[in-house]
Structures are given as C-alpha cells and as structure tokens.
A = this chain, B = another copy of it.
Amino acid sequence: MKKLTLNDIAKHFGVSISTVSKAVNDNAEISKEVRDKIQKYAKEHRYRPNRVALSLLKKSTKTIGVIVPTILNYFFTQVFFGIEKTANARGYNIISCTSDESYPKEVHTVGLLSAGIVDGLILSLSHETQAKANIEHISNFIDAQIPLVLFDRVSDKIECDKVIVDDLQAGYNTTKYLLDTGCKSIALVSEIYNSSVGKLRVSGYQNALKERKIAYDSKLLLKVKKNDDLELLITFLLDYKKIDAIIALDEMMAADVLYILKSKNIKVPEEISIIGFTNGRLSKYVSPSLTMVSQHGKYIGELTANILIDRIENKDDFIPYTTKIVKTSLIERESTRSLT
C-alpha cells in the first residue's frame, strides 16, 4: 500500500506519465475511455498528487507561517483561532511557531520559514525583540520577497502591512473611565513594559492624567519581571501611597491583582477599582468579575490573515502597505465603580 505516484499508474496501464496526469485532472485531451479507466483506478487506489512536488513546480505551498510570542495567552489564542479559520476557508494551511518571547528563537524561526515552505508570514514580535529593537532578521525576510503581515507587537522600522490594536486610545479610555468613576490615584502594572503595546497603553494613561492635570508619578508604574513576587510589589505600592485604582496590562495579572487585594481584605471596587487588558475566560468568572478591555483577538486574526492572503494572491500588483487599527471595547463588570 505504498504511496501511489503518476509513474506507478502510468506503468500499470502502459501509458505515459503525461497521459495519466491529464486523465486524473479530467483533461479532455485524453479520450473518455482512457480517462475513466485511469480515474477509476486512481480513486480505488486513493491516488493523491504529491503536494511537495506541486509546491516546487508552482512555487506556491498554500501554507502560511504564524509566529506568536506565546500561545498560553488568551489574546494570542484568539488571534490564532481567527487566522486558522480564515486561512482554511481560503484554502491555506498554517504552520505555527512560538517565539517564547525570545529573540534568538524568533530569529531562528523566521530564518527557517524564509526557505520556501510558506507563501507568507504572520508575525507578532517577541518582547525581547522589541526591547532589543534589532530587526535585521525581519529585513532579511522581507528581502526574500515573501509577504509579511505584522500584528499587535509591531515596529515602525519595518515596512509592511500591519494590524494593530488602538492601544494608545485604550490606555487613555480606561484611565479616563476610572477617573470618571471618581478614582484619583491610579497605578498601572505591566509585564510587557518594553513592548510597543505596553508603551502605548502607558502613553494613553499619561495623556488622560495630563488632561485632568494630575501629575504623573513613575512610582505608580509597576514593571514586573518574569519571576518577581507580585504580592510584594503590590504591598510596597500600597505602602507608598493611597491607591484607588489599578490597571493591569494582561488578564492573568488582573486576576492576580484581584486575588492579592482580596487576600489583604481590600474591597474591590469600593476601595480599589481594577481594569485589565484582554477579555478572556477568567474575567467573567472571578468575583467580583473584572472590567476588561477587549482587543477583539479573533477579528484581528481574521483581518490579518485576509490581508496576507490578498497580498500573496496579488503579488505582482503594487498595493501600498496599510496599517489597520482595531478599536478596543471596554467590557464593564463589577471590579469598577459605576459612572455617576
């Protein structure tokens, strides 16, 4: 039951390979009887054209590469889901890789994918890459003439299509929302302080403060690293100053903050309000449920995939690069006070 090739079928019928190829493709150039005979045989023996050979010939693999910093994060899982869905619908497979927030791994993976196995690439920069701001590997990839779409974690230095979240506005909106509910002293905790999205959210936060003529205090910006003890940091923060709201830059962290506050018997939202980024599964179920910023991950995935595939399928046409900005939505729940 070895894999059947055109050559095998050709030998079986004593005809040429071209005849078989045309027959299985139902080409009228071949007489009806021969065609039927060969098609029947091919079907019975489950002949399938070798996609690798086809890829080599057509210079198109019908697969797109996806590199995300991590998959153990609801936002990226959602985006991934959206990409997979639309890619499949448009006849593409996806080959998925994780950079694990690591620069060397990203370089390595991008290199691999530039060797002809994908027709295009979707990428969200790793945290380390954004911190280093070293994007030579991306430039090389672009030089290889393979379409690339960046999403969420992008870089100004890279010229290509991009899909980003309106993080500046989101940072501004959440801060303003908290101020409007009567909060005065708002802290911000972030693990991704070096990433483009983290910085934009902080800028939005600062803009909102400035608008209300509230001085920005950098001590209220908690940069937490991988193995930091968040509880300790929060304890210090609360000792430093009276806080009445905390913005957490991802969902897990929002949940962690809530957990810590509850363990300290601090009432949420009466004493401290919480808003988190990424509206995942957690936020609905904890109590009090968390007010969150939704980034519409699935939609971003769909949009990104569509832009990439359009680019792949109109490779010769000159289409200027676009940057799509996706607005966020605030999902109001119980961890914030109501607007008065």
Interface set of A (CB-CB < 8 Å, partner B): 1-3, 46, 48-53, 55-56, 61, 63, 71-72, 77-78, 80-81, 84, 88, 93-98, 111-112, 114-117, 140, 143-145, 252, 255, 258-259, 262, 281-282, 285-287
Q: Across the interface, do B3 and A145 meet the contact criterion of CB distance under 8 Å?
A: yes
Q: Which residue of B lies closest to A252 (CB)?
A: B281
A286 to B282: give the CA distance in the assembly, Å.
8
User: A48-B111, A50-B116, A259-B285 are known contacts; what are 17 more A-B pairs with Cβ within 8 Å?
Assistant: A1-B144, A2-B145, A50-B56, A51-B115, A53-B116, A63-B95, A71-B77, A88-B97, A93-B97, A94-B96, A95-B96, A96-B96, A255-B281, A262-B287, A281-B282, A285-B285, A286-B287
Chain B residues, CB < 8 A from A286? 285-287
Give how many copies assemble into the complex: 2
Chain B residues, CB < 8 A from A46? 140, 143-144
Q: Across the interface, do A84 and B61 meet the contact criterion of CB distance under 8 Å?
A: no
Chain B residues, CB < 8 A from A145? 1-3
Q: Which residue of B lies closest to A88 (CB)?
A: B97
Partner of A281, one of B81, B115, B281: B281
Chain B's nearest CB lies how many Å from the CB of A127? 18
A95 to B92: give the CA distance in the assembly, Å.
11
Chain B's nearest CB lies how many Å from the CB of A263? 11
21 examples of A-B residue contacts, CB within 8 angstroms: A2-B145, A46-B143, A48-B114, A48-B116, A50-B115, A52-B55, A53-B56, A63-B117, A71-B84, A72-B77, A88-B97, A93-B97, A93-B117, A95-B96, A96-B96, A255-B281, A282-B282, A282-B285, A285-B285, A285-B286, A286-B287
